[in-house]
Structure 1
Amino acid sequence: MKYVVKKVLSGYGALLWSFVYGGLGLFWLMGGAGFPYGKGDPYGVDISMFAQVQKEEGALVIVVAGIIGVITALIIIGFWKRRLIPRRMPLLVAWSFAIILLCVVCDYRVLALIAYTLLLKFEFVDWPAVNQFICLTGGILWGSAAITYNKKAQEVCDKCGRTTKVSKWLQPITVAKWGKWATYTAVCLPLIYSLTRWAWAFGIPLGVSKQFLIEGERDTPGIWLFGAALGTVGAMGAVLTLGLISRWGEIFPHWFPFIHGKRVPPALAIIPATFISIVVVITGLMYNRLWLKGAFPEGNIATYAPELTWPIWGLALGAATLAYYLRRREQCQECGGA
């Protein structure tokens, strides 16, 4: 299983994704239905950076990007001899795809789709939102391909990716220090959002006007209870984040039936934490972009202010997850790296 995952993340996944999504672009270019941008994304008018994209132009860009992606992925995999191609070129293309897909194409709907699904609110799921998730997957695959390709070009262990020279920032004592502060930051920031949503559910106009709460409940009954549920999901995530520096994040505590006392598989924490950190950064960047454009009206600052801190939350969670990984990784049997 580990071998399959490694293959997918080393370029094969990016190859398949580019081929499939480029094929969708060709389908849309030939008149097929379901183009998820511009007029095909009515809910993205105010938030998407592609709200004005025309179907023919957008589909053509997707086809071209798909072709470039397939060629680049084949280079990363090693289909062509690397000495004939400058190493930086496929690396530049791979990172460009990752950044564009994650930070430009995706918006808050990726996180909303996850939250709504957890709360069984499937009526909010539509094709443009699913397309966001597909693009998120592509961004992750291209980012992984770029990291793997860069490691291959350097003098690192083929099995674990470690170098013989370890940076002082990756020394165990240093990792423990910055990992702890990153974890505390990642715990506190989402609680700001949770606090505002809980306050609104109790009728407390924290950061908003009383009239705002009254009108919201009148127009959409139960909206503040739903917001409190989302805040609770965020708070639960904050509590779980503490596991990255706690013993119960390494050994299942006694209140876990059947498996208490057993070792927590590192991937059980690393995979979801990394995923959430990416999604949170994406959402926070969108809110900051809209804020800089002046898209938010004056007043009722708590409706968007907590989200402005989310890029910091996401980066902190990513750093905390990295520290957890570095602390828990085992000694490599190939190079002896600890």
Structure 2
Amino acid sequence: MPAAAAVWGVSYAAVEVTWAAAGTTVQWKEHSAYAPAVQLLLAALALLAGAACLAGTRTLARPGRVVVATALGIALPVFVVGTNGLPIYFVTLVTLSGVESATGLAQVLLNTAGAALLLLVGLSYRRRLRGDCPRCGQPHAGAADGPLAHPAASRAPRRTRVTVYLLMCGLLPWAGTKTVWTLGGNALGIAGEDWQRMSSADASGPAKATASAGIDVTVLAAMVGIFLLLGLLYAWGQVFPRWTLFLAGRRVPRLLPLIPAWLTGVPLAMYGVFLTIMAPLIAVGVLPAIKPSPPFTSSSGVTWFVEFGGLAFGGLGIGLVVAARSYAARTRPVCASAGGGAGASTPAVNPG
């Protein structure tokens, strides 16, 4: 991972410097682009983070360890924030709606790769400093590349499940409003016919097909997120259930649900919290009101929908983070040499 992170740092810096020198527009949000100075700063930070990852593989004195930890501690949040647009790009790609900015998508993917690598390197480095195995996190003698012992399948604790269920309720106002519009009803001062006409103007074939069945495509994407959430909470997310046919009874690769959960959960949580805070500030006049554009007919309708979106995205995102944290803890394998084999095994039964 440190070597991969160093390669990413050099590649990232090369791309950013090239874009800055060529004056390429790299979108970071609607109607806004990265300034060349920001791109050069990100390039320098990526190089610093890559160098810190390589330095962390050596035995360092205390000042060196502080420098490595500081570099990773500064770089990781920056590139995590840079993943913010990933869920939006995912929805547009899945629905065949087209990519608004190819360079913006490339930037988000580069940030995501960097954030993932830096997180893994930082976790491994922290474990080594504590004297634990950098691979499984447990203290044990011997190499860290032997066989792994996997725990038995289990569901999340009751407190975690209740927390996630409450967070999922944040989807109801947003999904309900969109479903009313899709079915032709009126909500927030918007007629269903107006919403359908505006949304179908640039909609792709799949989006139009789901809308004809009364299902908004973004609500359908949220349902996929709910399915992922349930898999993270229950045992069938660790062992393939009966309805998966040929895979039934096999252990689910640990990263199969964790990677999409982290990659979508963190950006959704940040975006949702931002919207949830922004809407009340607009309502009380701290921030300027949003000028309505069709099909919205009033600023209050836009503000309410922003709040609904914040509750939905924030609830789903935070729920994914909470569920993924529980799943990661419940499924963490340990090196067999750490003595974790006792009571830890790959379940042979099918939990259904």
Give the residue type in structure 2 aligned to 1:18: G
| Partner secondary structure for residue 96 of structure 2 | coil
Q: Is the 8 A contact 2:133 2:139 kept in 1?
A: yes
- Does residue 178 of structure 2 align to residue 197 of structure 1? yes
Give how far 1:191 is off: 4.4
Residue 237 of structure 1, aligned match among 225, 233, 238: 225
1:269–1:61 distance in 2 versus 1, CA, 3 Å: closer
Residue 75 of structure 1, aligned match among 36, 50, 55: 55
Give how far 1:89 is off: 2.6
1:13–1:126 distance in 2 versus 1, CA, 3 Å: same
1:267–1:140 distance in 2 versus 1, CA, 3 Å: closer
Residue 127 of structure 1, aligned match among 67, 91, 103: 103
User: In 2, distance between residues paired with 1:86 and 1:194?
Assistant: 51
Residue 179 of structure 1, aligned match among 160, 164, 168: 160
User: In 2, distance between residues paired with 1:28 and 1:210?
Assistant: 42
Give how far 1:290 is off: 5.1
1:96–1:119 distance in 2 versus 1, CA, 3 Å: same
User: In 2, distance between residues paired with 1:243 and 1:54?
Assistant: 41
- What residue in structure 2 maps to residue 321 of structure 1? 324
- Does residue 9 of structure 2 align to residue 23 of structure 1? no
Give the residue type in structure 2 aligned to 1:307: G
Query: What do residues 198-235 of structure 1 show as CA deviations (whole Å, max 9, x unaligned)?
Result: 122113334x2125x55444445356966811111102
- Does residue 40 of structure 2 align to residue 32 of structure 1? no
Residue 248 of structure 2, aligned match among 244, 255, 260: 260
Percent identity over paired residues: 18
Give the residue type in structure 2 aligned to 1:72: A
1:334–1:306 distance in 2 versus 1, CA, 3 Å: farther
List aligned pairs for 1:133-282, cutoff 5 A: 133-162=109-138, 176-206=157-187, 208-210=188-190, 213=192, 215-221=194-200, 228-282=216-270
Query: What do residues 219-271 of structure 1 show as CA deviations (whole Å, max 9, x unaligned)?
Result: 45356966811111102321331122334223323222222233333332222
**Matched residue pairs, number?**
305
- What residue in structure 1 maps to residue 300 of structure 2? 299
- Does residue 5 of structure 2 align to residue 14 of structure 1? yes
Q: Is the 8 A contact 1:14 1:141 kept in 2?
A: yes
Residue 114 of structure 1, aligned match among 75, 90, 95: 90
Give how far 1:34 is off: 2.2
Q: Is the 8 A contact 2:239 2:249 kept in 1?
A: yes
RMSD in angstroms over aligned alpha carbons?
A: 3.2
Q: Is the 8 A contact 1:195 1:231 kept in 2?
A: no
| Partner secondary structure for residue 261 of structure 2 | helix
Provide structure 1 residue ranges, at least 5 long, that are not aligned to the other structure: 1-7, 165-171
- What residue in structure 2 maps to residue 44 of structure 1? 30
Residue 308 of structure 1, aligned match among 299, 303, 310: 310
Give how far 1:286 is off: 4.5
1:215–1:174 distance in 2 versus 1, CA, 3 Å: closer
- What residue in structure 1 maps to residue 68 of structure 2? 90
- What residue in structure 2 maps to residue 5 of structure 1? none
Q: Is the 8 A contact 2:155 2:235 kept in 1?
A: no
TM-score normalized with structure 2 length: 0.73
- What residue in structure 2 maps to residue 3 of structure 1? none
Q: Is the 8 A contact 2:261 2:324 kept in 1?
A: yes
Tell which has more relative contact order, 1 or 2 (C-alpha 8 A, sep 6+): 2
Q: Is the 8 A contact 1:180 1:245 kept in 2?
A: yes
| Partner secondary structure for residue 111 of structure 1 | helix
Give how far 1:197 is off: 1.8
1:114–1:259 distance in 2 versus 1, CA, 3 Å: same
User: In 1, distance between residues paired with 2:19 and 2:329?
Assistant: 44
1:302–1:163 distance in 2 versus 1, CA, 3 Å: farther
User: In 1, distance between residues paired with 2:60 and 2:107?
Assistant: 33
Q: Is the 8 A contact 1:18 1:70 kept in 2?
A: yes
User: In 2, distance between residues paired with 1:311 and 1:141?
Assistant: 25
Give how far 1:140 is off: 2.3
User: In 2, distance between residues paired with 1:255 and 1:63?
Assistant: 47
Identify, as 1 or 2, the structure richer in helix: 1
Query: What do residues 25-75 of structure 1 show as CA deviations (whole Å, max 9, x unaligned)?
Result: 33245x3242415xxx6x633xx5xx5x542x2343234323322332221
Q: Is the 8 A contact 2:80 2:112 kept in 1?
A: yes
